[in-house]
Structure 1
Amino acid sequence: MLDTATKRRIDSARDILVGKVPDPKSQVEQITIALIYKFMDDMDAESEELGGVRTFFTKEFARYGWAKLMRSGLGGHETLNLYAEAISSMPENPGIPALFRSIFKNAYLPYRDPETLKSFLKIIDEFEYDHSERLGDAFEYLLSVLGSQGDAGQFRTPRHIIDFMVAVLDPKKEEKILDPACGTAGFLISAYKHILRANTDADGNSLLTPDDKGRLAQNINGYDISPDMVRLSLVNLYLHGFADPHIDEYDTLTSLDKWNEHADVILANPPFMSPKGGIKPHKRFSIQATRSEVLFVDYMAEHLKPNGRAGIIVPEGIIFQSGTAYKSLRKMLVDTGLVAVISLPAGVFQPYSGVKTSIIILDKSIAKRSNTIAFFKVDNDGFGLGAQRRVIVKNDLPTVATEIAEYLGRLRRHESVEDLQLSQGLIVPKEKIAENGDYNLSGERYRENIASNHSFPLVYLGNAELFRVESGGTPKSDVEELWNGGFPWATLADLPSTDFITEIRSTRRTISERGLRESSAKMIPENSVIVSTRATIGRIAINRIPMATNQGFKNVIIEDKSKVISEYVALALTKLVPTMNAWATGGTFKEIPKSRFCELEIPLPPLEVQKKIVAKIEGYQKVIDGARAVLDNYRPHIPINPDWPIVKLETVSTIVRGSSPRPQGDPKYFGGPVPRLMVADITRDGMYTTPLIDSLTELGAGKSRFMKSGEVIITVSGNPGLPTILAVDACIHDGFVGLRELSNDVVPEYLYFSLLALHSQHGSQSVGAVFKNLTSDQIREFTISLPPLATQQAIVAEIEAEQALVNANSELIERFENKIQATITRVWVRDGAL
């Protein structure tokens, strides 16, 4: 696992380049070149230390060694010229691998600013990865910046989704593994690591023989049409221990050269986009199509060995698009290999795209004897579905992994699945999927209608006595007179993804009367229900002002206010968001046609019951909003008495800098019984921290900084100035300063809260142009107010009591969110008490 400090170094290196090198691919290229440059010199240095000789930087290339580049006294322009000369000369260096020579080929320095280069090289110099596996992990993190959509429609697959798919397929050491659209080789690296873990004994020793390892290296293969992606894949595999990686520049869809090659396991997230006019494939495909997603899935299904398995990420078009090629593909999959479909939430590829995807699982040996297909639904994948993708508690992937393993295991053991209960899915007979000929692979389509048990009559949104559904429109963007008038005009930006149901009281944009007249936009009366039905499906709002919307919405106008209120309709529709997604058609920008949207049904209780439901949920929402406000705004506060003395930290503690054994990763020093504190540890548990991420041997601890339980630690890099208290004896690395031998005049918890209150100030005192650090001298100058011990203890007790109350708000939010869902669900269930 890559430590937080290294991730921040990579981020900092990118930050330096952003202003000079705006293209993400070029940023990655510059950092890749520098990392490999330093890596080779580190390997030379280690070889010399062990009594060997240098291999990378020898003879006339010796003057380009990293250490010489970074030597003190070398001026800015001298450094720039030497570095530029070095990277342009590397392709001629016979001492470096051919793969590395190809990386340096055509390399150049895209800016001529000595200060930028020196800042950049300083960050790279802080990397201390002396073996390729550690550098490989750093390189994989660097590749994550290539997540934006490329020309061929590629999206970076999140690491946890890759690992989930690999775990489901469970590749074995003797199997041939292929990714025919491999990008940066993420699936192949994950499969390789999975096999290594599966062949390790209880003591951490590999059970693979040299022959096993050689066969494994030969069995992992990838193709990609982009030479840039091929080069990055080769580097990625090389840095993970593949001396001779097998990645080919190959057009999977139009070339016949590898058509007769088959694999035991195929893992892929193929491109979704097709060029204008479509793909012109060769004639060997069984499905006649021009869409890339259809052809890729067909290719993978046809290139599995007779007992092969595949895991493929697909866009929603594959799941339910009505075109002939899509139907033919789905029929072929159901007949020959499909065993499971896993629906992913629409935000998995954020911030690069809100595209909705699914994972299809093929297993030819199981499919031959099974008459069912399992459908699973992932609502949460452990990360928020907004642009920031912050870690959240809710994660359906472990449950789905367990349930799909049980389902597939039973089929492999020839056991019945009739009694298998799936909390995250359902099992559907193939004959039901095939009965109307479209072979729709949306699990929601086969779920028993949740309204079939209703207490109240069902009404269509197309019921003209109750509702009028209007679509939106957009004036021509290049006609200035159509815009910035007096008519509010809503887009998806006016419906935040974080809101349950948004109230729109203003819009970011407006259109003119002419814009309204010359487009299909229509004014929607206030208190209508606004539903997003294009691309991002199912955001719901109530407009509290008359307004228009763009074409991405269906707007439900209440025609008979004596029978229905908009707030109830909005709440009822939240239960139909999965159905909306299942009904939407199209590729990347799927949409629900107005006619289809009008077929949605909701139960309609009497008006007074509707008002009762709305009032109850509004009350719950007020509690949630209040609890969120407490969590967002609470900060521990120490009331300062001007009579208390102000003291420097160095007067109440001995300040020591953390340290780490060298070289990094050496098994003599790392992986033993002594806990080692990492920056990522202290963001988890609050005041007291137990290190869980890393550890040292006794020998390693002797070369590190050892601290005792109860002593205060301060971060100096990554998140400078953040304090914690050690819950156990542990070592601390270079990213920390420890406060040892605390004076009897200070309570550790009081010191912690004092430093926490000053945390925001610490950032401004840190040094470094981009990657900020605190120095030990700066920390010595930090001051705190020091009241009597009894007062300190009272302050600590008061803050801890406050925090207990504040933290209870998280549970309160979850409880009341569940109450909201339960209240809405009862509307749909017979005899559900309201």
Structure 2
Amino acid sequence: MLNSETKRKIDTARQILVGKIPDPKAQVEQITTALVYKFMDDMDKEAQELGGEARFFTDGFSQYSWTKLMDNRLSGQEKLDLYVEAITSMQNNPHIPQLFRDIFKGAFLPFRDPRTLTMFLKEINEFEYDHSENLGNAFEYLLSVLGSQGDAGQFRTPRHIIDFIVEVVAPKKNDTILDPACGTAGFLISAYKHILKTNSLDYKPEDEKEEDKIKLGETATETVIEEKKSYNGDLLTPDDRKKLTQNITGYDISPDMVKLALVNLYLHGFTDPKIHEYDTLSSDKRWDEMYDIILANPPFMTPKGGISPHKRFSIQAKRSEVLFVDYIAEHLTIKGKAGIIVPEGIIFQSANAYKNLRKNLIENWGLYAVVSLPGGVFQPYSGVKTSILLLDREFAKRTDEILFVKVENDGFDLGAQRRKIEKNDLPDALKALNQWKKDFVIASEVEGSLAFAVSKEKIAENGEYNLTGDRYRKIVDYSNAKWPMVELGEVCEILDSKRKPITKGERKSGIYPYYGATGILDYVQDYIFDEKLVLIGEDGAKWDRGDKTAFIATGKYWVNNHAHVLRPNRSKILDELLVEIINSMDLKTYISGITVPKLNQVNLKSIKIPLPPLEVQEQIVAEIEQYQKVIDGAKQVVENWKPSFRIDPDWPMVKLGEVCEIFGGGTPSRSKEEFWNGNIPWITSKYFTDDHKISGFENISEKGLKNSSSKIAPKGSTIIITRVSVGKFAYADQDYAINQDLTALVPKEKTIKSKYLLLISSTIADKIEKEAVGIGVKGVTRDFVIKQKIPLPSTQIQEQIVAGIQEEQKAVEECKKLAEIMKQKIEAKISEVWSYEA
């Protein structure tokens, strides 16, 4: 697991470089070169400490050792000259393995500013080589900054999607494993870790839930570092380990990717990684190499004019995505298995190459399941819609059906930051796939909604072999609906032709709302519409059940071309009920488009909705409006309430250090396994919630506590973030060891009560946020906290203040509950509209 300090070092190194090297990929290359340089010197020192000799910086290359580079007697210019000479010469160093020579091949420094280099090297100097997986996880975090590789159509695969595929494919210790477009080796490392896990004494598969198998960070990027538990593979013999690393292979056409993959595997314990610079599609040099497991997210894009493949492919095509899937399928052993991420074209395109590929996948190559992924899994790099093809040559022969699984939420929102959300279908998808492979049964709780099976005969019947799951879903039977069903086009006039977009640069600020797919985007000087209408997101919206896809616009306003504009026939349907009905639906079956998902006008008009009589509609709307008024009132209370109390000017003002014991913490060394996984909860700033609670922790041991600067903040303390993510604070509901970014305020109970201290801490946190200083990493000193003055009434008055605030908090919580009850009543009322006759 990656600690916040190591993450900070990586972020700081990038921030130092960004002024000279704005390209993230170039930043990663410079950091990689410097890290490997530093680690070679660390290994030399380790060898010398054990009585051996330096291996890397010896003979004519001893002058380039990192230790000599960091000599404070060198001027900035001398350091720059030495560094440039060292990295350009290292590929010719006969004392280093070929792996390291490959890493330094073509290395150069693209700037010549001594000050920037000195700052950068100082940050790199903070890293130390060890033999744990910590450096590997740190390097994966560094690689997570890589985005789209432009015209190649390569996108970094999110770690949780990689882990999901690996869990389904489930490689074993003796399997040969390949990724033919390996990029930075994410699939290969995940497969390696999976094998270590399943060959560890402390691995208990019966205790592991599906949701524990796919680890999620606060964002999709940070998921690479959120490992709940590390396994050491202690059931593997030395021969097993050697064979395992020899059995894992990667190809990539890009020398830059090969270099990064080599470093990544090396830092995960591979002494001689098998990564080859190889054109998988145009060269047949390795065509005869077969593998038990193939995992890949191959490039989606095809160069202009197409690929020029060799002649050994079964499918004659020039599209890279077709050829890669062909390659993978043809290079599996008799019992081989594969997991492949593919663009939607593979799923439904009607060109002969695509149809022939799908036919072969179903009839000859072991396709047994298709997992549809949400359209934004590759955000912020691409909104391209993708699916996962799962192949198992042995298993597929035992069934005449294909399993379709639809993942609508992967645990993260679809914004650029891809932040963690509650909705996550991956655990249920994993459960469905595992159950299917076990006994050809779909778990009842996900059947129909998330997973269903279709016969191969049905898929093949029109010769298209279309793998779009939704087309095979059973059509909803409305024949016994309580109210007649009508298409939206029958009860609404579509006014889309009147819409007009205005670019941001052309907009002139004014008083009229400017609407887009999700609501008001801006205010402009003119308007198009001057009436009450219903807007429904066309693209750039969300179409899940419960999302506010539809909304009402009133008065004078402008609408761009990302929202449909509807004028309901009010003699048939009321605007308010139409909006509620649309927002209660899952509209994704009406969505088309691969790169940009879209609710086009044809599909919009075809949406079927129930149509109660007008007088019934009026009753429903009146009831819903009453519920909504209660919700709005409750929200006002919740959003505007803040704990506050009157400060008597006669109360003495005292320094915090006079009434609290104040101290910071630290982080035990990650390289010492015995310092971790003990029984002491240890926290960092990432576990602080917005409502001043602590959610989650890691565990350290007694030895880890004694051999680090970490200290225990006892139950009842207030803990404030004083470094990096300043401005938050939390109440310690139990004893916690803390890291160096946190400061504990332990109240002297005879003078200040713990809950009063928590209340007054909001003013202290505000001051810390305003006064924090630093370049890159902001914070305040502990002395700053100690000297902060707070009002200190008697303990009796403190208790009265806390009691009053707690009563207010109870009222606020009741408002939250009331709003939730009213929301459920609205949902129940709309469900009645959709109900069926008995």
* TM-score with structure 2 setting the length: 0.85
State the Cα distance separating 1:814 from its structure 2 match: 6.4
Match of 1:340 in 2: 369
Does residue 1:300 correspond to 2:328, yes or no? yes
Distance 1:535 1:567, change over 3 A: same
Could you tell me which residue of structure 1 aligns to residue 113 of structure 2? 113
CA contact (8 A) 2:517 2:538 kept: no
Once the two structures are superposed, residues 676-729 of structure 1 have per-residue CA deviations (whole angstroms, 9 ceiling, x without a partner) of 33333345994457x732312536535544425324544443324644454444
In structure 1, C-alpha distance between the alignment counterparts of 2:785 and 2:511, rounded to whole Å: 56
* Residue in structure 1 matching 2:422, options 393, 405, 410: 393
Cα distance, 1:240 vs. partner? 0.6
Counterpart of 1:561 in structure 2 is: 570
Is this contact kept in 2: 1:168–1:404, CA < 8 A?
yes
- Matches of 1:747 and 1:476 in 2, distance apart? 58
CA distance in 1, matches of 2:690, 2:51: 44
- Cα drift, residue 141 of structure 1: 0.6
| Alignment correspondent of 2:589 | 579
Supply the distance in 2 between the matched residues of 1:149 and 1:270 (Cα, whole angstroms): 12
Secondary structure in 2 matching 1:362: strand
Q: Does 1:377 align with 2:406?
A: yes
Matched, 1:91 2:91: yes
Letter matched to residue 109 of structure 1:
L
Question: Which residue among 700, 703, 706 is the counterpart of 1:698?
Answer: 703
Q: 1:91 to 1:280 in 2, by over 3 A?
A: closer
Matched, 1:648 2:655: yes
Amino acid at match of 1:751: L
Which residue of the other structure, out of 737, 753, 757, is the alignment partner of 1:751? Answer: 757
Is the Cα–Cα contact under 8 Å of residues 720 and 765 in structure 2 kept in the other structure? no
Q: Does 1:666 align with 2:705?
A: no
Distance across 2 between alignment mates of 1:645 and 1:487: 50
Contact 1:238 1:245 in 2 (8 A): yes
Q: Which residue of 2 aligns with 1:783?
A: 789
**Is the 1:471–1:553 contact (alpha carbons within 8 Å) kept by the matching residues of 2?**
no
Aligned equivalents of 2:375, 2:425: Cα separation in 1: 14
Tell me the secondary structure at the aligned position of residue 9 of structure 2.
Answer: helix
1:143 shift after superposition: 0.7
CA pair 632-685 structure 1, distance change in 2 beyond 3 A? closer
1:173, distance to aligned residue in structure 2 (A): 0.8
In 2, distance between residues paired with 1:272 and 1:261?
Answer: 24
Question: By how many angstroms is 1:46 displaced?
Answer: 3.6
User: Aligned with 2:133: secondary structure?
Assistant: helix
Over 3 Å counting, the alpha-carbon distance change for 1:565 and 1:297 in structure 2 is: farther
Aligned-partner Cα distance in 2 for 1:97–1:508: 64
Q: Residue 456 of structure 1: which of 453, 464, 483 is its match? A: 483
Give the deviation of 1:172 after TM superposition.
0.7
> Which residue of the partner structure matches residue 179 of structure 2?
179
Structure-to-structure mapping, 1:594-743, within 5 angstroms: 594-614=601-621, 635-637=642-644, 639-662=646-669, 664-683=670-689, 686-687=692-693, 692-698=697-703, 701-707=706-712, 709-710=714-715, 711-720=717-726, 722-739=728-745, 742=748
Deviation at 1:745, TM superposition (A): 1.4
Segment of structure 1 superposing worse, 650-659 or 150-159: 650-659
Summarize the Cα distance change of 1:87–1:461 in structure 2 as closer, same or farther, 3 Å threshold: same
Q: Distance in 1 between matches of 2:318 and 2:823?
A: 45
Say if 1:641 and 1:588 are closer, same or farther in 2 by CA, change over 3 A: same
Percent identity over the alignment? 50
Q: Which runs of 5+ in 1 are unaligned?
A: 497-501, 512-522
Amino acid at match of 1:577: L
In structure 2, the CA distance between the partners of 1:737 and 1:535, relative to structure 1 (3 Å rule), is closer
Q: For residue 145 of structure 1, give the secondary structure of its aligned residue in structure 2.
A: coil
Deviation, 1:80, is 3.7
Contact 1:532/1:554, CA 8 A, preserved across alignment? yes
Q: Which moved more, 1:730-739 or 1:241-250?
A: 730-739
Over aligned residue pairs, what C-alpha RMSD do you find? 3.8
**In the alignment, does 2:282 pair up with 1:277?**
no
Deviation at 1:50, TM superposition (A): 4.0
Indicate how the Cα distance of structure 1 residues 164 and 694 shifts in structure 2: closer, same or farther if over 3 A, else same. same
AA paired with 1:772? K
Query: Following TM superposition, by how much is the alpha carbon of 1:490 offset from its aligned partner in structure 2, in angstroms?
Result: 7.3
Aligned residue for 2:223? Answer: none
Q: Return closer, same or farther for 1:249/1:10 CA change in 2, 3 Å cut-off.
A: same
Equivalent residue, structure 2, for 1:288 = 316
Residues of 2 paired with 1:802 and 1:40: CA distance? 61
In 1: Cα distance, 2:335 partner to 2:530 partner: 59
The correspondence for 1:264, drawn from 292, 295, 303, is 292
Shift of 1:192: 0.6
Q: Secondary structure at the match of 2:151?
A: coil
Q: Aligned equivalents of 1:16 and 1:97: distance in 2?
A: 30
In the alignment, structure 1 residue 209 sits paired with structure 2 residue 237: yes
Task: Write the distance in 1 (CA, Å) between the matches of 2:344 and 2:486.
Answer: 28
Q: Summarize the Cα distance change of 1:97–1:183 in structure 2 as closer, same or farther, 3 Å threshold.
A: same
1:427 has 2:453 as partner: yes
CA contact (8 A) 2:665 2:709 kept: yes
Q: CA deviation at 1:329?
A: 2.7
Counterpart contact for 2:764–2:788, Cα < 8 Å? no
Which moved further from structure 2: 448-457 or 157-166? 448-457
Trace 1:110-149 onto structure 2 (pairs within 5 A): 110-128=110-128, 130-131=130-131, 133-149=133-149
Contact conserved, 1:342 with 1:378, CA < 8 A, in 2? yes
Q: Secondary structure at the match of 1:151?
A: helix
Gapped runs of 5+ residues in structure 2?
A: 204-230, 544-548
Please name the residue that 2:57 is paired with: 57
Conserved? CA contact 1:488–1:548, under 8 Å: no
In structure 2, what is the Cα distance between the partners aligned to 1:166 and 1:697? 35
Map of 1:311 onto structure 2:
339
Tell me, in whole angstroms, the C-alpha distance in 1 between the residues paired with 2:623 and 2:294: 51
**For each residue in 1:731-787, what CA deviation from the matched residue of structure 2 results, as whole angstroms up to 9, or x when unmatched?**
444344445684631223333443343224324433431122433333333333322
The residue type equivalent to 2:389 in the other structure is I
What is the correspondence of 1:489-568 to structure 2 with a 5 Å cutoff? 494-496=516-518, 502=519, 504=520, 527-533=532-538, 538=543, 539-544=549-554, 545=556, 547=558, 549-550=560-561, 555-558=565-568, 560-568=569-577
Residue 434 of structure 1: how far off its partner (Å): 3.0
Question: In structure 2, the residue corresponding to 1:694 is in which secondary structure?
Answer: strand
CA distance in 1, matches of 2:300, 2:261: 20
How many residues end up aligned between the 2 structures? 799
> Are the counterparts in 1 of residues 131 and 269 from structure 2 also a CA contact under 8 Å?
no
Deviations 1:416-447 (A, max 9, x none): 66989626322223333333433332333232
After TM superposition, give the deviation of residue 170 of structure 1 in Å: 1.0
Q: Structure 1 residues 769, 70: CA separation in 2 closer, same or farther (over 3 Å shift)?
A: farther
Q: Measure, in 2, the Cα distance between the counterparts of 1:485 and 1:705.
A: 53
For 2:596 and 2:455, the matched residues in 1 are separated by: 30
SS in 2 for 1:221: strand
Residue 553 of structure 1, CA deviation:
5.8
* 1:156 correspondence with 2:156: yes
| Matches of 2:535 and 2:356, distance apart in 1 | 36
After superposition, give the CA deviation of every residue in 1:566-610 in whole Å (9 maximum; x if it has no partner): 4444444442522123xx25x424556654554443333333444
Which of these residues, 419, 429, 433, is aligned with residue 404 of structure 1? 433
* Matched residue, 1:516: none
- TM, length-normalised to structure 1: 0.85
Alpha-carbon distance in 2 for matches of 1:604, 1:8 = 57
Between stretches 274-283 and 69-78, larger displacement belongs to: 69-78
Distance 1:803 1:121 in 2: 51
Task: Return closer, same or farther for 1:576/1:133 CA change in 2, 3 Å cut-off.
Answer: closer
CA distance in 1, matches of 2:557, 2:257: 50
1:232 partner SS: helix
Q: Deviations over 1:294-340 (max 9, x none)?
A: 33223222222222222222222223333333333333323342222
Identify the match of residue 350 of structure 2 among 277, 299, 322: 322
2: distance between equivalents of 1:693 and 1:730?
10
SS of match in other structure, 1:265:
strand
Deviation of 1:146 (Å): 0.7
